[in-house]
A and B are shown apart, each in its own frame.
Chain A
Amino acid sequence: MNQENKEMNVSVFSDRVFAAAEAAGIAPAEICVAGSESFSVRVRGGKLEDYKVSDRFNLTLRGVSGGRIGTASTQALDEESIGMLIQGVKESAEVIETDEQDEILPPDEAYGAVCNHSEALRGVTAQDRIALAMRIDARLAAADARLTPGFTVVATSEETMTLKNTLGLDLSHSSNMIYAYASALAKDGDQAATGFKLLWGYSLEDVNAFDVADGCAQDALEKLGAGRMSSGARPVVIRNNAMADLLSTFCGVFSADNAQKGLSLLAGKEGETIASGCVTLVDDPLMPWGLGSAPFDREGAATMKKNIIENGKLITLLHNRKTAKAAGIRTTGNAAGAGHVSPSNLFIAPGEKDTQALLKEMGEGLYLTEVSGLHAGANAVSGDFSLLARGFEVLGGKAVRAVEQITVAGNFYQLLRDVMAVGSDLLFEGSPIGSPSVAVRSLNIAGE
Chain B
Amino acid sequence: MISESICQQVLARALKLGGTFAEIFYEDSRNFGMSLRDGKIENAATSRPLGAGIRVYDGLRSIYVYTCDVTLSGLLRAADRAAAAVTDTKGSGRDVMLAETRFADRHPVRTPVLGVPAAERAAVLRAADRAARAVSPRISQVAAGLIAREQHVIIANSEGLYTGDVRTYTRLTCSAIASDGTENQTGMESPGARMGFELFETRVDPEEAGRKAAKTAVTMLDAPYCSAGEMPVVIAGGFGGVIFHEACGHSLEATSVEPGMSEFAGKLGQTIAAPCVTAIDDGTMENEWGSENIDDEGMPTTRLVLIENGVLKNYMIDRLNGLKMGMAPTGSGRRESYAFAPTSRMRNTFIAPGNDDEEEMIRTMGDGLYAAQMGGGSVNPATGEFNFSVREGYLVKDGRITSPVRGASLIGKGSEILMRIDRVGREMTMGQGMCGSRSGSVPTNVGQPTIRVSRLTVGGK
Contacts and interface: CB of A to CB of B under 8 A. Distances in A.
Please determine whether chains A and B interact with each other in the same assembly: yes
Interface of A: 1-2, 6, 44, 47-58, 70-76, 81, 84, 88, 91-92, 94-98, 126, 148, 150-151, 185, 192-194, 231, 261-263, 265, 338-339, 372-373, 375-379, 381-382, 384, 386-388, 404-409, 444-448
Nearest to B31: A73
B426 interface: no
11 contacts: A47-B60, A48-B87, A53-B81, A70-B44, A73-B46, A76-B70, A88-B45, A92-B118, A376-B388, A376-B389, A377-B459
B182 A265 contact: yes
Contacts of A76: 28, 48, 50, 68, 70
A338 B44 CA distance: 9
Interface string B259-285: 111010000000000000000000000
A384 B85 CA distance: 48
A56 B43 CA distance: 25
Contacts of A1: 67, 69, 74, 77-78
Interface stretch (B89-97, B98-106, B287-295, B403-411): B403-411
A20 to B, nearest CB: 15
A406 B228 CA distance: 10
Contact of A54 (B45, B49, B67, B461): B67
Interface in B337-394: 339, 341, 375-378, 380, 382-383, 385-389
A339 B382 CA distance: 40
B222 interface: no
A47 to B, nearest CB: 7
Contacts of B303: none
Given A372-B380, A373-B377, A384-B407, A446 B459 contact: yes
A373 B389 contact: yes
Contacts of A448: 230
Given A376-B378, A407-B459, A446-B411, 8 more contacts: A50-B62, A52-B64, A73-B45, A92-B118, A261-B37, A262-B184, A265-B183, A379-B186
A407 B411 contact: yes
* Residue of B118, B380, B382 most packed against chain A (CB within 10 A): B382
B62 to A, nearest CB: 5
Contact of A373 (B38, B43, B378): B378
Contact of B389 (A51, A381, A386): A386
Nearest to B263: A192
A381 to B, nearest CB: 5
Given A56-B51, A95-B122, A407 B46 contact: no
Given A444-B460, A446-B458, A51 B63 contact: yes
B260 A75 contact: no
* Residue of A54, A372, A378, A406 most packed against chain B (CB within 10 A): A54
Contacts of A58: 47
B162 interface: no
A84 B50 CA distance: 13
A377 B68 contact: no
B65 A54 contact: yes
* Residue of A74, A150, A193, A408 most packed against chain B (CB within 10 A): A74
Contact of B460 (A74, A382, A386): A386
Contacts of B64: 50-53
B60 A405 contact: no
A255 to B, nearest CB: 13
Contacts of A262: 140-141, 177, 179, 184
Interface in B432-461: 457-461
A388 B177 contact: no
A408 B411 CA distance: 11
Contact of B339 (A54, A81, A373): A54
A445 B28 CA distance: 49
A1 B411 CA distance: 47
A95 B118 CA distance: 7
A278 B149 CA distance: 48
Nearest to B260: A148
Contacts of A185: 260-261, 382
A372 B179 CA distance: 27
A382 B62 contact: no
A53 B185 CA distance: 43
A408 B409 CA distance: 10
Contact of A407 (B47, B184, B457): B457
Q: Sort A-B residue pairs by CB-CB distance and give the 3 closest, nearest first.
A: A407-B459, A446-B228, A376-B376
Contacts of B377: 373, 376-377
* Residue of A81, A91, A378 most packed against chain B (CB within 10 A): A91
Given A263-B141, A263-B177, A409 B61 contact: no
A379 B376 CA distance: 11
A409 B378 contact: no
B43 A71 contact: yes
B459 A194 contact: no
A231 B179 CA distance: 30
A56 B85 contact: no
Interface string B110-141: 00000000110110000000000000000011
A373 B37 CA distance: 27
A94 B274 CA distance: 56
B383 A231 contact: no
B41 A97 contact: yes
Interface string B52-81: 000000001111111111100010011001
A113 B185 CA distance: 42
Given A96-B41, A97-B40, A339-B42, A52 B259 contact: no
Given A384-B407, A409-B407, A98 B460 contact: no
Contacts of B85: 51, 53, 126
Contacts of B45: 70-73, 88, 92, 338
Given A381-B184, A386-B408, A95 B28 contact: no
A56 B177 contact: no
Contact of B409 (A52, A74, A194, A407): A407
A199 to B, nearest CB: 21
A150 B258 CA distance: 11
A382 B183 contact: yes
A378 B413 CA distance: 20
B229 to A, nearest CB: 6
Given A76-B50, A381-B184, A381-B186, A192 B382 contact: yes
Contacts of A339: 42-43
Nearest to B27: A75
Contacts of A263: 141, 177, 184
B412 interface: yes
B214 interface: no
A375 B40 CA distance: 27
Contacts of A73: 45-48
A446 B51 contact: no
A44 B259 contact: yes
B45 to A, nearest CB: 4
B159 to A, nearest CB: 21
A84 B46 contact: yes
B22 interface: no
B34 interface: yes
* Residue of A94, A148, A386, A408 most packed against chain B (CB within 10 A): A386
A97 B388 CA distance: 37
A48 B119 contact: no
A241 to B, nearest CB: 16
Contacts of B177: 262-263, 381
